[in-house]
């Protein structure tokens, strides 16, 4: 087991790991791809010692990030949690199941092939993350330009102008005459787009101005109100949108769009606490099977089940129907929640997942790929799941928080197993756990401040891409040095006892 030896190598490694933990916590990944190279190349631990300590650090980052995020609210809907528990509920079972397959692949494949696959996977993931970040940055740029134009324009909209998102003249003669015109955008409708967002912002701006005065003689106080209204974020998806009656002298058709809060009385399975409890049960069942089955560094479990025996394979195989059953149940619950909300006027907004048949297939499949890649490449599932969440249109803040939440379950499973098999010394474990906790707090609040300061969520996407690239390079260098030291090997026998100590690495990768 690793010992905590104070000296310049430990201090330098701690500093670098702290920076890596802050960046990883900010973008919703565990950061194992950063810690392992630092612990091996800088601190001087062996791979066998570095991997468990890396998992402890990941656990600290994940738990701290979740505790910070659980107190934060959705950037566009303050009454909602930042973590998307529906996505986590659907993705977690398949992520855990994917690690089961990934572990077997890892044990069999030689180091040089894993290194090649690591380069390909991280290269593809990083490229897609950069593409998503650039798209979001361009969208923010267009929205900012539209907002700038809105601040110098005054438009009195009609109900038709709000529905189509175009500039329509209005006033005492051309308005609605003070009649109430409810306008709704069903969730199934496509995004309003840039032109629609622009028209809606104009409508908001014009609604206030038309209700101020007929001759547009606006006071400084009223102009400040217009500026404040124009700067409000535009919500793209609407359900329960109403246009208020105008109170102007001429009865013009100006109005403001109101996004109603959801009902507080909902079925039990709609509450986030119930979803959290559900995932905790999934985790406990998965961990119980792994604990009973064994298959780590020792050749038999605590209950005497020998690796590669009949009972070992039965317990390995039984995880598939159990986790697939939880996946199907999660998809059914997510669909029921979506249908209930749609019927009852839930205010869906940009970044919400539409639980169509396509989404119900894509998200669990992405979790399986992320878990499998985590298992045999030694990377965290957050490095795959996070970019996938951005790819399906989730906002960066929500994707980051949700990815961190999923990592809590995977990281705790790993750390628990290491303590069970005696691979962790409590002193260095406590040191790096506290490091992870503090680093994540700094990263979460630091990036949150930067995003608010510049009003650009794309910063998170770009940061995620850079962290993935940096950790990928570090892991590739570490792997190349290991290959140079050990030489090129062939495929391994899964059931060979203590084959290159591969099983301890398999356990390490089990729950990234």
Digit-coded pLDDT (tens) for 365-395 = 888 887 787 666 656 677 777 777 877 778 8
Residue pLDDT, tens place only, 265-282: 566 667 888 898 999 999
Helix spans in 70-192 (H)? 85-108, 111-150, 159-164
pLDDT band at 178, cuts 50/70/90?
A: very low
| Percent of the chain at pLDDT exceeding 70 | 64
Nearest to 347, CA basis, from 217, 185, 174, 143: 185
Place of tokens 């403001």: 256
DSSP percent split of the chain into helix, strand, coil, nearest 5:
65, 5, 30
What is the SS3 assignment for 81?
A: strand
What is the SS3 assignment for 36?
A: helix
pLDDT (0 to 100) of residue 446: 79
58 Cβ contact partners less than 8 Å away, ≥ 6 residues apart? 30, 31, 32, 35, 380, 407, 411, 414, 436, 512
pLDDT (0 to 100) of residue 494: 63
Contact predicate 512/379, CB 8 Å: yes
pLDDT band at 148, cuts 50/70/90?
A: confident
User: If you average pLDDT over each of 85-89, 420-424, 438-442, which comes out highest?
Assistant: 85-89
Residue pLDDT, tens place only, 18-54: 888 887 777 777 777 778 788 888 887 876 677 778 8
pLDDT (0 to 100) of residue 385: 79
> Is 258 a residue whose pLDDT tops 80?
no
DSSP strand pairing (73-74 vs 241-243): unpaired
Residue pLDDT, tens place only, 57-79: 888 888 888 888 787 887 777 77
> Is 216 a residue whose pLDDT tops 80?
no
Nearest to 403, CA basis, from 103, 32, 92, 72: 92
User: If you average pLDDT over every residue of the chain, what do you get?
Assistant: 70
pLDDT (0 to 100) of residue 255: 37
Q: How far apart are CA 426 and CA 65, in angstroms?
A: 22
């Amino acid at each position: 087991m690793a010992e905590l030896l104070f000296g310049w190598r430990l201090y330098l490694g701690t500093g670098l790991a702290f920076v890596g933990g802050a960046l990883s916590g900010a973008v919703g990944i565990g950061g194992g791809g950063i810690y392992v190279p630092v612990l091996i190349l800088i601190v001087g631990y062996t791979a066998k010692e570095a991997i468990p300590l890396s998992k402890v650090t990941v656990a600290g980052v994940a738990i701290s990030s979740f505790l910070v995020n659980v107190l934060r609210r959705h950037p566009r809907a303050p009454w909602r949690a930042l973590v998307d528990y529906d996505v986590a509920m659907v993705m977690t079972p398949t992520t855990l199941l994917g690690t089961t397959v990934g572990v077997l692949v890892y044990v069999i494949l030689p180091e040089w092939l894993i290194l090649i696959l690591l380069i390909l996977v991280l290269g593809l993931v990083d490229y897609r993350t950069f593409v998503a970040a650039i798209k979001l940055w361009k969208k923010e740029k267009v929205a900012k330009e539209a907002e700038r134009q809105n601040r110098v324009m005054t438009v009195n909209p009609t109900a038709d102008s709000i529905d189509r998102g175009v500039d329509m003249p209005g006033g005492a003669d051309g308005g609605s005459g003070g009649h109430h015109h409810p306008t709704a955008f069903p969730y199934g409708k496509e995004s309003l787009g840039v032109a629609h967002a622009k028209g809606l912002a104009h409508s908001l701006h014009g609604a206030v101005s038309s209700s101020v005065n007929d001759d547009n003689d606006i006071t400084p106080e009223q102009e400040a109100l217009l500026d404040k209204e124009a700067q409000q974020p535009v919500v793209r998806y609407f359900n329960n949108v109403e246009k208020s009656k105008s109170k102007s002298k001429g009865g013009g058709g100006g109005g403001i769009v109101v996004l109603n809060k959801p009902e507080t009385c909902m079925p039990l399975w709609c509450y986030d606490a119930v979803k959290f409890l559900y995932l905790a049960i999934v985790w406990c069942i998965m961990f119980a099977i792994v604990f009973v089955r064994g298959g780590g560094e020792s050749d038999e479990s605590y209950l005497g089940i020998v690796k590669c025996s009949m009972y070992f394979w039965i317990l390995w195989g039984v995880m598939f129907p159990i986790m697939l059953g939880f996946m199907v149940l999660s998809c059914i619950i997510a669909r029921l929640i979506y249908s209930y909300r749609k019927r009852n006027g839930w205010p869906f907004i940009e970044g919400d997942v539409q639980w169509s048949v396509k989404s119900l297939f894509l998200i669990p499949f992405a979790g399986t790929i992320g878990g499998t890649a985590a298992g045999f490449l030694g990377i965290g599932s957050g490095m795959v799941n996070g970019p996938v969440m951005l790819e399906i249109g989730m906002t960066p803040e929500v994707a980051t928080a949700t990815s961190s939440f999923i990592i809590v379950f995977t990281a705790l499973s790993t750390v628990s197993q290491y303590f069970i098999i005696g691979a962790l010394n409590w002193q260095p474990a406590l040191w790096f756990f506290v490091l992870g906790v503090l680093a994540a707090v700094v990263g979460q609040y630091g990036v949150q401040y930067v995003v608010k300061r510049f009003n650009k969520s794309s910063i998170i996407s770009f940061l995620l891409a850079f962290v993935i690239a940096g950790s990928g390079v570090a892991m590739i260098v570490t792997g190349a040095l290991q290959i140079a030291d050990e030489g090129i090997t062939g495929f391994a026998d899964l059931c060979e006892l203590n084959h290159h100590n591969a099983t301890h690495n398999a356990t390490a990768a089990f729950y990234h």
